[in-house]
Chain A
Amino acid sequence: MTEPLVVKHLTKVFPDGTTAVSDLSFSVGKGEFKALLGPNGSGKSTTLKMCCNLLDPTSGHVLFDGVDVSEDPSGALSHMGCVVETPALYRDRTVGETLRYICRLRGLGRESSQDVTIAALDRVGMSGTDGMRFGRMSKGMRQRVSLAQALLGNPDILILDEPTSGLDPVGVRDLEAIITGLNSEGMSVLMSSHMLHEVARTCDSYVFIRDGRLVSEGDVGSAMDGGGATVLFTRPLLPDEVGILSSIIGGDVSGGDSVRIGAGDRESRADLLRRMVFEGLPVCGLVADGGLEDMFTEVGDDDVVN
């Protein structure tokens, strides 16, 4: 089965010589909620713009359901909906008129456009606003309406560029609920963000880029747990306790008042701790490594995966 989005060796060099994205490859599977992570200026928006046909890549390919955007833009873009940067609808037309127009450009018939528009607005909690003008809406309402336009035509994948940026906590929560709801219905999502708590709440997997290059990708849960943690003891372990600890974690232990444990999900860590306490080891706490948070500040060029 073809993946909803495949990015292959994508590179973007701007006319001034700046390389915004370099040989970036990743994919988004059916029903997957993937985060595109990276610090400011890392190339997230440029990558998403190339995915949405707003920027032409210098080299590489973007495929939606196996259709290359550069070869068949109309065919490829019909599979996706996007909210990139700060999109706007025409201020001199009502929201309903503009959404029906977008439906028509997405290939829907005149009759079905009305129903699809109402359904999309309803889906984002904006029922009854089709007669309003976009220019008179609050930022939160605009974000929702922008999301509604991305849903027209029932795309296979949603591409979102920091969709909760600038919203208040209630707005963030509501929009997250809508997006995760769409994902739970089977829609794939690629969302750029630099807010890790948001990513931890919503995403299954991540791609981390820096200076336009792939640094790391994988499962969000494991990455948030940092791939490791340190168990603290109240005192240095006795020789027989070191033996017990070795048998619990399955490796050599040097002793001391702490021990580092490897990657694993939260449940397996909890299981390790329970066994240590059960065996009478003097456990007093656990400190998780920074994980993704550290990547934003610590990863250097030497760590780049090619």
Chain B
Amino acid sequence: MSSTDRLIAVTVFEIRRILIGWRMPVCLLVALLLFIASIGTAMSEDDPRRFLYPLISSVVLLISLYSVVSFADNVSDEFEKGTGLVVLTLPISRYTLFAGKFIAAYIPGTVLAFVYYMASAIACIICCGEVPSTIWTSLLLALLYLFAALGICSLVSCLSPGSNVSFVVCLLLLVVALFYFLNVSFDTEPWYVLGYESRIVSNHVLGVQTVFDSTMSTTDYQPLLSTATIMMSVYGVVTTAVAAVLFRYRQI
């Protein structure tokens, strides 16, 4: 049996754990509540872009919650609850095991985001008669944010002594920080902060940009598409790679 077959076996098993357990139903419920809460605001808009903005604004929160729920305790559980004493003694590379777990968390997250975008697009067609094409670019940005968020969760999970600690830290880093960066204004652009860059997901639909005053200064920075894309990619790649190495060398 090749490494690819083992990777597929891990991915399929972990996807089943996410889908059949409590994790996915919780995320679906949150998605439904966010959609209902946002559609009320959206209904007052005639412009398709303005209609979509409140709906898509909720996606980042949904993805953050999904990442925490699906992956924050995934790795730390193996070390804390004794399952690692079985799985890590099997003839499979730890990198393959980690990759399988990561892909398994990414696939349902992608489906969840896609379903939410489709529901938003259908609502937009019903109410406004058309859907701006930027929604699909926004979906790609949302999937990039999912990659970064899962990377952070995997890193925290690999570093944490237990699943509760991992869960709380991920919640603070991704969800609480998101609310903080939602409304705060900055003296200088915090281009290095994921929570700030994630605004591009909804801003891209509306076309919001940083507006400078006559002295070329502003307190209302908005992320650039290029910077946000690069930063989310960097967060995803670096955190995932470091987490994979930590998982390989973590001892029980």
**Chain A residues close to B by CB (< 8 Å):** 49, 52-56, 73-78, 80, 82, 84-93, 97, 101-102, 104-109, 146, 149
Quote the shortest CB–CB distance from A170 to chain B (angstroms): 24
Pairwise interchain contact A89-B86, C-beta atoms closer than 8 A: yes
Pairwise interchain contact B83-A88, C-beta atoms closer than 8 A: yes
| Complex: chain B residue closest to A84, CB-CB | B85
Pairwise interchain contact A56-B91, C-beta atoms closer than 8 A: no
Residues of B within 8 A of A97 (CB): 13, 16
| Complex: chain B residue closest to A107, CB-CB | B1
Query: Beyond A55-B251, A101-B9, is A87–B91 a contact (Cβ under 8 Å)?
Result: no
Pairwise interchain contact A88-B90, C-beta atoms closer than 8 A: no
Query: Beyond A54-B88, A73-B91, A104-B6, is A92–B17 a contact (Cβ under 8 Å)?
Result: yes
Quote the shortest CB–CB distance from A5 to chain B (angstroms): 14
For window 1-36 of B, CB contacts with A under 8 Å fall at 1, 5-6, 9-10, 13, 16-17, 20-21
| Complex: chain A residue closest to B82, CB-CB | A88
Contact of A55 among B9, B17, B90, B252 (CB under 8 A): B252
Residues of B within 8 A of A146 (CB): 86
Pairwise interchain contact A75-B91, C-beta atoms closer than 8 A: yes
**In the complex, B93 has a CB within 8 A of chain A:** yes
Residues of A within 8 A of B87 (CB): 102, 105
Pairwise interchain contact B91-A107, C-beta atoms closer than 8 A: yes
Given contacts A78-B91, A87-B83, 9 further A-B contacts (CB under 8 A): A54-B89, A54-B252, A74-B91, A85-B82, A86-B82, A87-B86, A88-B81, A89-B83, A102-B87
Interface centre among A54, A75, A85, A149 (most CB of B within 10 A): A54
Residues of B within 8 A of A102 (CB): 86-87, 90
Quote the shortest CB–CB distance from B18 to chain A (angstroms): 10
| Complex: chain B residue closest to A108, CB-CB | B1
Quote the shortest CB–CB distance from B160 to chain A (angstroms): 18
| Complex: chain A residue closest to B3, CB-CB | A74
Residues of B within 8 A of A109 (CB): 1
**In the complex, B92 has a CB within 8 A of chain A:** yes
Quote the shortest CB–CB distance from A137 to chain B (angstroms): 13
Query: Beyond A49-B252, A92-B21, A93-B17, is A105–B85 a contact (Cβ under 8 Å)?
Result: no
Pairwise interchain contact B86-A77, C-beta atoms closer than 8 A: no
Interface centre among B6, B89, B93, B252 (most CB of A within 10 A): B89
Q: Report Cα–Cα, A77/B5, bound state, in Å.
A: 17
Quote the shortest CB–CB distance from B162 to chain A (angstroms): 14
Residues of A within 8 A of B17 (CB): 90, 92-93
Quote the shortest CB–CB distance from A119 to chain B (angstroms): 18
Pairwise interchain contact A105-B82, C-beta atoms closer than 8 A: no
Pairwise interchain contact A106-B90, C-beta atoms closer than 8 A: yes
Pairwise interchain contact A88-B252, C-beta atoms closer than 8 A: no
**In the complex, B249 has a CB within 8 A of chain A:** yes
What 4 A-B pairs are tightest by C-beta distance, nearest first? A88-B82, A107-B1, A104-B9, A78-B91
Residues of B within 8 A of A87 (CB): 82-83, 85-86
Quote the shortest CB–CB distance from B84 to chain A (angstroms): 8
Quote the shortest CB–CB distance from B89 to chain A (angstroms): 4
Pairwise interchain contact A56-B1, C-beta atoms closer than 8 A: no
Quote the shortest CB–CB distance from A151 to chain B (angstroms): 12
Quote the shortest CB–CB distance from B245 to chain A (angstroms): 13
Residues of A within 8 A of B249 (CB): 56
Q: Report Cα–Cα, A78/B1, bound state, in Å.
A: 12
| Complex: chain A residue closest to B9, CB-CB | A104
Pairwise interchain contact A56-B86, C-beta atoms closer than 8 A: no
Interface centre among A52, A74, A89, A105 (most CB of B within 10 A): A105
Quote the shortest CB–CB distance from B7 to chain A (angstroms): 10
Query: Beyond A85-B82, A86-B82, is A105–B91 a contact (Cβ under 8 Å)?
Result: yes
| Complex: chain A residue closest to B90, CB-CB | A105
Residues of A within 8 A of B83 (CB): 87-90
Query: Beyond A55-B252, A56-B251, A107-B1, is A82–B89 a contact (Cβ under 8 Å)?
Result: yes
Q: Report Cα–Cα, A282/B21, bound state, in Å.
A: 76
Contact of A105 among B10, B21, B251 (CB under 8 A): B10
| Complex: chain B residue closest to A15, CB-CB | B251
For window 51-85 of B, CB contacts with A under 8 Å fall at 81-85
Pairwise interchain contact B88-A53, C-beta atoms closer than 8 A: yes
Q: Report Cα–Cα, A76/B91, bound state, in Å.
A: 7
Residues of B within 8 A of A49 (CB): 252
Residues of A within 8 A of B13 (CB): 93, 97, 101, 104
Quote the shortest CB–CB distance from B62 to chain A (angstroms): 23
Pairwise interchain contact B92-A88, C-beta atoms closer than 8 A: no
Quote the shortest CB–CB distance from B97 to chain A (angstroms): 8
Residues of A within 8 A of B89 (CB): 52-54, 77, 80, 82, 84
Q: Report Cα–Cα, A80/B86, bound state, in Å.
A: 12
Q: Report Cα–Cα, A93/B87, bound state, in Å.
A: 14
Quote the shortest CB–CB distance from B52 to chain A (angstroms): 36
